[in-house]
Amino acid sequence: MQTMVGDHPTDRLRVRVAWLCGLVLFLEGYDIAAVGYAIPSLADAWHVRPSMFTAALTAGNVGLLLGSLGAGLLGDRLGRKLVLIGCVAMFGVFSVLTASVASPSQLVVLRLLTGLGLGGGIPLAIALASDFAPRMTQGRFVILISTGVPIGIAVGGLLASRLVGFFGWPVIFRVGGVLPLAIVPLLAWRLPASGVLPAEARRRNLVAALFHNGMAPTTLLLWPINLLNLLGIYFILLWMPAILHSAGMSPSRAIFTSTMYSMGVIAGPLLVAPFVDRVGIERVLTCGLAFGALCVLSIGLLDPPLWLLSVLIGGAGIGGGSQSGINSLSGIAYPPTMRSTGAGWALGVGRVGSIAGPLLGGALLALGFRTREIFVAAAVPAFGATILMAMLGRLRRRNRESISRRNGTIPPYSLGSTEGH
C-alpha cells in the first residue's frame, strides 16, 4: 500500500513536527476553554445570568463535532498540512472577531464558527504527528504531543485570570486569535506535508472505508469509547464546582478542589506515555480508565474527607486524561491513507458526549440527585469506556498475533492498523 510520508523521516524532522503539532494543540486547548474563562466577565458586562451562555457553550461543542467530521475527510483528500493550516487560521480569525461581540446571540454564532476550526485542528495534528512518529515509539510520541490540549486549557486559565483584570474580557479572545494567526506562516514554512491520497483512493468513500478490510470492529469500539469518556470528562469538569458547592463547600474551596481534576488530566498522559510502547497502548489506557472510574465511584460511595476527596478527584482526572491516549490510538489505529478520517470521525462522535455530559449533569441536579449519587452516576460511562477499551485491546492483540504467525515476527504494541502497514 502506498504510504503518505517518506519511509525514513529524520530525527530532526520528527522533532520539528512534534513541536509544531504540539504548539497547535496547545493553542487549541486555550481557545476551546476561552469562552468559559470569559463568561463571568461577560455576565457582569452584559448584565445577564450565566445560564444565558448555555447556547454559546453548546454551539462551540457542535462546531467541534462538525469540524472533526469534515476536516478529517478533507485532510485525507487534500493533504493534512493544507487543511490543518486552514483550520488554525479559521479559529484564529473568528476568535479575534469574538472579542467584538455585543450580545449572547452574536457569541453563539462566532463560537460555532470558531468551533469548526478547533474541531478540525485536533485530529489533523494528531494524524500528521502519527505520520512522522518513530515506528517503534509511535504511541509515546503521539500521546506526549496530545498533552498540548490539556496544558493549553490549564495555562489559558492562569493567563486569562491575570489579563482580564487589566484589559477586560476581550483580551481573552484576542490572545486566542492573534497567536494562532501568528503561527500560520511558521506552519506553512516549516511543517512538512504528509501527501495526499492516490487518485484511485480519493474516489473511495472514506467514511465507508472505516468499516471495510477488517477495520469495522476497531471503528465500532473507538467511537463509543470516545463518546463515553468525553461524556464523563465534561460531566465532571463543568459541573464539579457547582456539585461540591451544593454539598456545602464554599465557592472558592469548590473551585480549588475542582482544579485537582484538571491537574490529573495533564498528569495522566505524562504518566502513561513511557509505558505504552512496551506494555501496549490499549492495556495502559484500560488501566488508566479503570483507575479513574474507581476514583469517581469511591467519591460517591465513601463520602471522603477533604484531603482524600482532592486525591480522588485528581485520580479521576488521570482517568479523564486517558483521552489524550484515546486520541492517539484513533490516529495510529488506521492506515495512513485514511488516518485523518479515522481520527476525525472518532473524535467527532466523541463530541456527542461532550454535548451530552453537561446536559446530563444539569438534568441530575434538576432531579434532585445528591452529590454522592451524582458521582456514582458519573462512574457508569467511565466503567463503560474501560470495558470497551479492554475489548479493543484484546481484538488488536489477536490481529498482531495473527500477523506474527504469518510473518514470523511480532509487531510492536503501539503500531497502527494491521491493514495499514
CB 297 within 8 A of CB 380: no
CA distance 385 to 299: 19
Identify whether 376 is part of a domain.
yes
Identify whether 34 is part of a domain.
yes
Identify whether 413 is part of a domain.
no
Identify whether 420 is part of a domain.
no
> What is the mean pLDDT of the segment spanning 319-341?
90
Band of pLDDT at residue 325, cut at 50, 70 and 90 = very high
Tally of structural domains, the chain:
1
Identify whether 279 is part of a domain.
yes
pLDDT tens digit sequence for 57-89: 889 989 999 999 999 889 888 889 999 999 999
Identify whether 419 is part of a domain.
no
Q: pTM here?
A: 0.84
The whole-number pLDDT of residue 420 equals 41
Identify whether 415 is part of a domain.
no
Mean pLDDT of the chain: 86
pLDDT at 292 > cutoff 80: yes
Band of pLDDT at residue 195, cut at 50, 70 and 90 = low
> b vs e for 263-287, b when ≥16 Cβ sit within 10 Å of the residue's Cβ?
bbbbbbbbebbebbbeebbbbbbbb
CATH of residue 368:
1.20.1250.20
pLDDT tens digit sequence for 202-217: 556 888 989 988 899 9
Query: Which range of residues forms the domain containing residue 398?
Result: 11-407
CA distance 359 to 91: 25
Identify whether 201 is part of a domain.
yes
Cell triple for residue 266? Answer: 495533564
- Contacts with 277 (C-beta within 8 Å, 6 or more apart), sequence order: 136, 137, 138, 139, 140, 412, 413, 414
